Amino acid sequence: MNDQLLKIQNLTVDYRSSNKTVHAVRGLDLNLRPGETLGLVGETGAGKTTTALSILRILPDVAARVLSGEILFDGKDLLTRSKKEMRQIRGRDIAMIFQDPMTSLDPVVTVGAQIEEMIMLHADLPRSGLRKAAEDMLEVVGIKRERFDDYPHQFSGGMKQRVVIAIALSCNPKLLIADEPTTALDVTIQAQVLDLMKQLKKTYRTAMILITHDLGVVADICDAVAIMYAGEIVEYGTLEDIFDGHRHPYTEGLFNSIPSIDVEQKTLEVIEGLTPDPTNLPSGCAFHPRCPYASAHCAEERPGETQLSDTHYVRCFQCAPSKEKELQHGRTVVERL
């Protein structure tokens, strides 16, 4: 049995206009097992959403160019599938939830009919069974089946996002991609939607890619974490690798910018400088103009992946595994050189 549901290798995507090229994703590698939840973390413009749109093959045709790579889903390359095959895969095998539920819902169609339509397109079910299946899905996401005939404007923001989740899960996809699914919601509603996603993850064993800039959300729901910066993954590991043993200076900056409840802080630390212009990326390591550990070498050469353990890698010249030192529980310690 194939234990990798999704395997992306060396994915490179540019956006081109008449006089500029945006380097959106640069040599990205990523693996996801069935039932696993991966957090894709980074600032706006890091390439997270482009990665998701590439998997679904819904990049804007005119501007986007996939320059290299393969996206193996269930062992077959999505980049070589026909448009017809991709239409079947979207919704049935891979579904996506966007940040703003109103961009996904049709305001003039009842929520029940929208769930029915998705089931009709992708599931092998007689017409007579559609309404019951759609009503069941509403109940799965905590909405009473009596609300089947209501329109999206009759629901609150959190309820609309629940409807979007119901549509996405109605064909029991193997992979769910959620792009900042709670960002547009109030904090209490965010917690409810996250609880729902956790519960659905347990029940359906759906693999998930959760795109977010919020490490709290990642800690709550993810099994693995990929930290993206300037179109590439700069650190990748299990939740424990990243939360207890992160090594990349950018990851360190992200964690330092989170308020702590243990220590009294008057001001939060910030990562100095701005995210780089993707049309004109810095030479060498793209993080070097902002990195407190940068050396002259960092501006000259782009760091490759340094494998720190079976599950953890980092792209930084200043991090190397040290075989001599071992933590008490046997994990290899990585020292900044």
Residues in contact with ligand SF4 by CB under 6 A are 249, 285, 287-288, 291, 293-294, 298, 303, 316-318
Residue closer to ligand SF4 by CB (options 34, 284) is 284
Residue closer to ligand SF4 by CB (options 14, 232) is 232
Residue closer to ligand SF4 by CB (options 157, 289) is 289
Cβ atoms within 10 Å, residue 45: 18
Instruction: Write down the least CB distance from residue 77 to ligand SF4, Å.
Output: 31
Query: What radius of gyration, in Å, describes the C-alpha atoms of the chain?
Result: 21
**What is the C-alpha separation between 33 and 299, in angstroms, rounded?**
35
**What is the C-alpha separation between 303 and 134, in angstroms, rounded?**
50
Using the structure block, give the residue that is written with the tokens 């395997």: 7
Instruction: Write down the least CB distance from residue 254 to ligand SF4, Å.
Output: 13
For residue 94, the cross-strand partners are 90, 175
Is residue 278 within 8 A of residue 230, CB to CB? The reply is yes
Instruction: Write down the least CB distance from residue 299 to ligand SF4, Å.
Output: 8
Residue closer to ligand SF4 by CB (options 195, 301) is 301
Residue closer to ligand SF4 by CB (options 23, 288) is 288
Helices (H) and strands (E) in the chain, counts: 10, 14
**What is the C-alpha separation between 11 and 322, in angstroms, rounded?**
30
Instruction: Write down the least CB distance from residue 316 to ligand SF4, Å.
Output: 3
Instruction: Write down the least CB distance from residue 318 to ligand SF4, Å.
Output: 4
User: Longest C-alpha distance within the chain, in Å?
Assistant: 69
Name which of 134, 142, 141 is nearest 112 in CA terms: 134
